[in-house]
Structure formats: structure tokens, C-alpha cells
Structure 1
């Protein structure tokens, strides 16, 4: 529970924020979605983009160097993150430079902000991301106001009291929107039809019924006044987005210095302290610095480039691992034999094609990746998925063994009966055109012969049809999995 207390002030003179919203999309309509993006001004992102376009995309003269992106990731990761065309497998990023200024009203406060650019990233297995680059315009601002803005902007479905009450205002038209309507009704209305929804769940995250939150993940680069002191309390507030209470009072959600210190030991990367810190929590990834803004071009380039993709990849890992766990819990073991096989294929393709513990060639990239793995609980989730895979294999083997035993049992019966009849199940009456009319006079042994022959023919037909049917279903599942893995 938030506790009222004296909170240290920290002036932020510039902020760069990226809000990341995952959603499920229909892979069968993938080309339709791409056509819709292109018709609305979104261009396919290449790592060799020209510098002028990048400056517009990121602002403040920030450039993301393609060669640095290539050298930052291992080759087996690089060609998945930066595929050369939409036809290749991987993460396909479409970007549009927006540069529009709007206002967020929270209680009696108004905060001006700019949407710099928007990414729509179509990832593998029907998972996509909407990423918005936002700059607060009314700065310098107190850290409490910046964190309050972030906390309200990220709330797609404001179910918590501290997230309610925010409204987006369009100055030109005086229109007002909730956050969700602002995203899908104003900024990206064409994406609404691409978002899949679970029929049983309401709200945006019915699109991902296995996801545990209804707020966007935020990454932020906060530049404080040059030489300002950055305390542990402020770092804790940044990591937990402790801005202002519903009554507008700044707050921190912990008062025990030892607790704050222990929490930071798990979430803080202080390699460049006391001038720069990185914090990663389940709410967001933040960089805060007290260095002059004109000395931070390289750090901002990394934040917009290499760190952006490092975060994206691990966020994708978390979502996929949660998806597998969710789908495993939904299995009806009595009916879902083909579903089990599809889930085994999904886990296998994801593990072999996209899931890698080592993704970066640089020590900084390794450290950041390790921080994301801890934050998103990647290793425990992957261990759970590995156990799931073993259970699925065991279940499939048991089912196959049971079917094989039943088939052997049936075939044994037919073999024994056929052996008793000397492999001759033909009744002389059948050779005459009117032979079938004599069945009321059949003896017991002739009835056994008749039933055995008819059942054997039916069983053979069933085996042939089911074999070809399973081949067809396997091919369909394989094609569907190939389509998901794009």
C-alpha cells in the first residue's frame, strides 16, 4: 500500500519513452495486414535506413547505425530480427513517422507530449507488437510527473485506481479519448481488425488470454539535470513507476531502506554509476542519467537500437513461454490428440528457431540480456515448458502404445479365426447370385465366417481412410505451423 512520506525531487530535462503493446494477429490475413500498413504510410524497416529518415524517426538527431546492429547480435539471431524482406521468417517491422502533439489530462494536470513515430512489428507465431515513441514536451518536469504520465499512458484497461482518470485531448478538434480508443480509434484504427480476440475474455488482452497484465511495457530514457544526485529511493520509484497517488501526492511504495536496497539488487544495473543507471522490472526498462544531453548521442542510439531489439526479443520469449503453458492447461486429454501434436511441434520449432540464451556478442549485451531474463523469469518459464514437452511426449507415446496394442489385439483375433478356417472364409452360397438370400439358414460357423469377413473388410477400409486422413491433417498442421513461423 502506498505510504505518504517526503519524496525527493529530481528534475527531468528530457525524456524518451517507448510503449510496447503485444497482441495476437491472424496469420491467415497476414498479407492483408501488410497491405493495410503500407496503404497507411508504414514502410518496411531495413537496418540500412538513410540517416535523415532515422533522425525523423527518433528525434534530436539520434541515428541507429545498421552496422552496430549487425555486430551486436549473433548471426543466427541477426537474420531473424532483421529479415531482408517480408517473405523471410522473423520479425517484420513497419514504421511510420507521426510527429503529432497532443495533451494528456490527469486529474487537474495537463501534460503535453509528442508521438514521434510508431512501429508495428509482425513477429512469429501470430504475435505482434505495437510500439509508440513518445516525448514529454512540458519539461523540465519533476520525476513524479514523468512517472505519473508513464503509469497512466501505459494503462490500456485502467482497472487499478492509480491508473484511472487519464484522458487524451486532441487540441485541434477538442476530441477526447481513453488510452485504448486513442491507440485503436485515432492513431491506428486500421489495426483493430487485425487484432485477434478470445471469445471468453473481454478487453484488449483477450487478444493474448495467457498474458497477465493489461498495461503496456514501457522503456524510458530519462535525462536529469547535469550532476544531479540520483538516490536509491528515486531509482526504486523509477523501476516501480511510483509517480503520484490518485490525490496527486508523490509517493514511493516502500519505506524500508533495506527492502529498497534488496529490490534494487535484483533490478538495477549500475555499471556506469553514479552517472547512469539501468533498471528493469516487470513494469518497464528505464535508463536514468545525470550527464549532459549533448554527450549522450551514443547511449541514445543504443537505447533506440540494440537495447530496443534486446528487450523486444526477451519480451517475445516471455509471451511465447506463457502461451505454451496456457495452451498446455487447455488440453482435453481425451479429445485433443492432434492438438497435443501441434503443441509439440510449436514448442520444438520455437525452441530450435528462436529461443537462444546467448544472443549478443558484446559484454554489455550479455549483461542486459541476463537482466531481462531475470526480470521476465525466462529460465523458470523455459524449464516449465521443457517439462511440458516431456509430458506431451510421454502422453503421445502412451496413446500410441495403447492404439497399437488394440490393433494387435484385433488383428490377432482375425488371424486366429482365419487359421481355424484354414484361411478360407468363403461360403459356397455366396458364389451363387441368390446366395445372400440363404443367410437365415446359416450355421453358427457360417455366421462367424460372415461376420469375420465383413468386419475385416470394414476394418481394412477404416485403416486406409484413417491413414490418408492423418497424412492430410499432418500436412495441414505443418503448413499452418510454417505460416505461423514467419
Structure 2
């Protein structure tokens, strides 16, 4: 008999919620985009700037740059925290917001603060926009917090149960999260986001962007005595309210919930603190006193944020590579196939690493993130893509070489028959074309061979030069 589970209420006294929104931009416009961000008071983030340690994360929250410096392996740290905008890697621009908003949907209302936003320009034309929010209320139910997180991460509501939410700020009203983020908080970014005309919305350039929802992470603090399995499960699934406004859980099977939690929960600091990671969110819940969690909240904003961001970037870029492979037109995109092979090779050799942290806790979270984001499967798929592309390129190259060899063989044989001399006496000086009609059979062969050889040589030179110019244009256009 299936054991059913009952939803246990839980009050949240503090909630820090972060959202990550991936987008695509043109590499050739990277410099212009950085200039625009600086004009709009976005500051380039560097570990050397100690004054940035307490600017973006909320009142009385300070991250330690030294801890960030020591948490990641050196070859990862060099790319995550470049000291100059001229360096390749993850270029982060941050801006403090510190403004209050009210979110409402049906009978649910939540006051929240937007503490700051980050725009991180990652390699290969992928960017990540981060919004740091904080619950602006002394106490709220877990159901309402999860309902807010579930709806806020939806950029453009499509389903009926997602529609109707509004975000208010003094005399402004935003009907979607997309309006709040791209029309207000990060307006200088909007013109630089690549849009695909075949797809809708600002996520249109990322056809592989799953469900058009942002990835969320949260650090929740409760005054409860215990944390139950149903509460952890709801945090992982972001189960808030159903269509009737009642508390919602997407499974009532206790055995299923226990299996789900066992696979995704990091319980090193149980029974006081748990972290659950899923494809939708990474949420930490603690029942310790707020003043006892300064270090944990700081790590949530720093080392755990960067660990999550890095693995989310891995997921996005692997989906991008798989998607672009599926879009290749083998006959028309031979040069693009070479570019895709080059892109995959560069990503694998420069940025993709299974181990990113030197600490045991970091390795544990890395393992959970890789499983939750299904990175191993995606990477194996990309590796198969590389093998397929190489085989296809070899086949195409062999066919071209065989055809060229056949043509050269024909002309070599004919030239050999004539003793490497295809010149007819009539062609010397001023050619008298009226004598062509009187040519013998072998003279006709000489004429046709000479003319076709000249024409084919011209065509070969023109196509080779044209392809070279076209390839440079395509490479510039595609930002490779």
C-alpha cells in the first residue's frame, strides 16, 4: 500500500532569493556592451576591489573575497575572477538596486527587495543575468514564498495558472518579470540580446532555454524546530499553491518523496540545515537563529553562488552545442561544421572541468549539481557530436579530394597522350577561329581540353577565393 504524505506548515522568518537568466549576445559587441553597462553605473567585479564585499547582498551581509579566492581550483579561479576586462572569462558587472516591490497574484502578496543585479558576460556569447532579492517581511509562510519563487522565475507567462501576476513599485506596475528585469532593472542590456525572429521573447536566441524560466536559488531561515521531508520536497519542486489557492505538493507518495530527497539533498549540517538541488532551484533551509548564520548566508552569496552559476553555464553551453549540431545543414554548412568542432574543442579544453573546488563541501555540491543538471549525459552527447562531425568532415573531404583527383587524372592522361603539348599551330600569334571547323578529331580533343582546363582553373580560383571571403564574413557574423 502506498504511504501518503501530509503537507506540514512552515513559517519563514528570512528569505534571500536569487534568480539566474541566461541570454545570448554578439561577441563583436562585447566591448560596446561593457561600455554601456559602465555608463549605467554597473561596476566591474574584481576580487582586488575589497570595497565591493558588502555592497550587493543585503543589509549586514558581507562576503569574503579571500574565501572566493581559496575555494576554487586555480585554473577555474583564473576564469571566474579575471582581474581585467581584457581577460577572457566570466566578466561580471554588478549594480546595487535596494528598491522595494510588491508582488501579487490572486490572494497572495509578498513584499520583497531587489538588492542588486549582476550581468556576467561568459565565453562564447552566453551571458547570465542575476537578480538578488530578499523577503521584506518579518514572517511569511513557506507556501507563499514558494509560490512567489515559482511565479517570479517565469519571464513570460504562457500557461493559464501563471498569468495574472503583477509587480508594483510606487506608481509603476509590471505585468511580467520580463518587464521588470529588462525594461527597468537592466534596460541597457536589452538592445544587445540576440533575438531569433522565429522565436518569441528575449529568450528567443536560446531555443534550448528550458521552459523560459529562470533558475532560482534561495536561503530560507525558519523558527521551526524541525524540517520535514514534504517541506524539502516542495522546496526542490517549488510547489506553492494550486489553482484553488491551497497548499500544493506535486506528489503524495511518501516512498517517492524519500527517494527524491535522498538523491538531491545535502544534509551534512542536519538537522539544522539542509540544501536541496533540482533542475529548477538550489534551496537551503536552516532552523538556526539568524545571528548564527552570518557565515552560511555569506557563503550562499559567494562560493555557492559561483559554484551554481558555473555549472548552470555548463548546462546552457552544452545544450547550445547540442542544439546547434541538430541545426546543421550538412551540404550547405560545411564551414560551420568546422567552426562547431572548433567551438566544442575550445569549450572542453579551456572551461569544462569535472572538479572545480578544493574543498570537500564544494566537491559534494559539485557532484549534486552535475547530477541535477544531467551534465554527464549532455557532455557524452556532445562528445558523440564531435565524433559525428569529424567523420562527416572526413567523408566530405575525401569526396572532394577524390573528385579533384579524378579531374586531374583525366587532364594528366590527355596531356600525357599529347606528350604534354596541347598547342596547335593555329593558336600561335593571332588565332584564326575560322579554321576550327576544319580541325581533326584529335585537334578537337586538344581544343576542348585546353578551354575546359582554363575555365575550370578560373572557377576553382574564384570559388576558393569566394569561400575564403565568405568564411571570414560568416565567422565575423557568428562571433566565432
| TM-score normalised by structure 2 residue count | 0.95
What's the CA shift for 1:75? 1.2
- Residue 405 of structure 2 corresponds to 408
Match of 1:262 in 2: 259
* Closer, same or farther: CA 479–85 of 1 in aligned 2, 3 Å: farther
Q: CA deviation at 1:470?
A: 5.0
Partner of 2:396, secondary structure, is: helix
- Where does structure 1 lack aligned partners over 5 or more consecutive residues? none
Of the structure 1 ranges 106-115 and 16-25, higher mean CA displacement relative to structure 2 is found in: 106-115
Give deviations 1:133-175, integer Å, cap 9, x for gaps. 000112311111111111111111222344222100112x153
SS, match of residue 213 in structure 1: helix
8 A Cα contact 2:5 2:230, kept in partner: no
> Any conservation in 2 of the 1:342–1:477 contact (CA below 8 Å)?
no
Q: CA deviation at 1:409?
A: 0.7
Contact 1:161/1:246 (<8 A) preserved: no
Partner of 1:164: 163
Worse-matched range after superposition: 26-35 or 235-244: 26-35
Instruction: Give the secondary structure class of the aligned counterpart of 1:57.
Output: coil
Alignment of 1:303-452 (within 5 A): 303-452=300-449
Query: Aligned pair in 2 of structure 1 residues 441, 259: CA closer, same or farther (>3 Å)?
Result: same
- For 1:302 and 1:479, the matched residues in 2 are separated by 40
2:152 counterpart residue number:
153
What RMSD, in angstroms, separates the aligned Cα atoms of the two structures?
Answer: 1.9
Q: Contact 2:157–2:176 at 8 Å: present in 1 too?
A: no
Cα distance in structure 2, aligned partners of 1:191 and 1:215: 18
Q: 1:178 offset after TM fit, Å?
A: 2.0
1:445 Cα deviation from its structure 2 partner: 1.2
Q: Name the residue aligned to 1:212.
A: 210
How far is 1:299 from its partner?
1.1
Q: Which residue of 2 aligns with 1:37?
A: 37
1:290 matched to 2:272: no
Report the Cα distance in structure 1 between the residues aligned to 2:234 and 2:384, rounded to whole angstroms: 37
Q: Specify the alignment match of 2:72 in structure 1.
A: 73
Q: Matched residues in 2 for 1:196 and 1:317: separation?
A: 20
Alignment of 1:80-99 (within 5 A): 80-99=79-98
Partner of 1:197: 195
Q: Give the whole-Å Cα distance in 1 for the aligned partners of 2:142 and 2:152.
A: 15
Matched residue SS, 2:400: helix
Q: What is the rounded CA distance, in whole Å, between the counterparts of 1:57 and 1:244 in structure 2?
A: 31
Q: Could you tell me whether the CA contact under 8 Å between 2:15 and 2:218 is conserved in 1?
A: yes
Partners of 1:303 and 1:5 in 2: CA distance: 30
Aligned to 2:54: 55
Q: Measure, in 2, the Cα distance between the counterparts of 1:357 and 1:251.
A: 36
TM-superposition CA deviations, 1:371-414 (whole Å, max 9, x none): 11001100000000000100000000011111111111111111
Comparing 103-112 with 117-126, greater Cα deviation is found at 103-112
> 1:121 — aligned with what?
120
Instruction: Please give the alpha-carbon distance, in whole angstroms, between the structure 2 residues aligned to 1:120 and 1:261.
Output: 37
Are the aligned partners of 2:6 and 2:252 in contact in 1 as well (CA < 8 Å)? no
* Rounded Cα–Cα distance in structure 2 between residues aligned with 1:64 and 1:417: 79
Deviation string 1:280-314 (CA, Å, 9 cap, x unpaired) is: 11110111111111111111111111111111111
Alignment: residue pair count: 477
Distance, in Å, in 1 between the alignment partners of 2:444 and 2:307 is 73
Contact 2:53 2:65 in 1 (8 A): no
SS in 1 for 2:248: coil
Cα deviation 1:52-77 (Å, max 9, x = unaligned): x4323112322222221121111111
Report SS of the residue matched to 2:188.
Answer: helix
